[in-house]
Amino acid sequence: MKSQNSKINGNLLIRIGIGFIFIWGGLEKFIPGFLGGPGLEGATGFIGGVFGVSGVIATIMTIGLAITELVAGVLLILGKKLFETYAVLTLLLLVATVMVWLPAGFADMSGNNNVTWIIVITHIGLLFTLAGLTLNAKNEKSA
């Protein structure tokens, strides 16, 4: 029984840590300057540039992303809808890694972009963590 409690506590700590990352990501898209975040205007410009859209479409994408990050972060911390939440966050992180961070890392191969590569590796590690948690939640859901 003790190992079951350790597993629950460990999963709770993982959920809290990942949940706060995504809550932060959502808030920084809405609040300019929040822990260095761009706010809605800055995030919309960036996301629009990445996906080649502008105007209302870029704004809707940004608001949708920010709300998804916020809601998913809260759901993780509360331990609700874990399979669905992990799956959505895995997809978001995969898109962010492939569309934003890998291109940024390869854009500057001068060796002076250590911070970018640290972010790339962090995203890849978090991506695999979320993918594993998604599989675990799926197995627990079907059991």
- pLDDT tens column, 34-58: 888 999 999 999 999 999 999 999 9
What mean pLDDT comes out for the span 126-133? 94
Q: Which two tokens stand for residue 96?
A: 């962010």
Rounded Cα gap, residues 114 and 60, in angstroms: 33
Opening angle at CA 59, ends 75 and 106, nearest 5: 85
Please give the pLDDT value at position 1: 45
Contacts (Cβ under 8 Å, ≥6 apart) of 3:
none
Please give the pLDDT value at position 99: 92
Domain limits, the chain: 1-80, 81-143
pTM for the full model? Answer: 0.82
At 10, is the pLDDT very low, low, confident or very high (cuts 50, 70, 90)?
A: confident
To the nearest 5 percent, what fractions of the chain are helix, strand and coil? 85, 0, 15
How does the average pLDDT of the chain come out, rounded?
89
User: Amino acid identity, residue 112?
Assistant: N
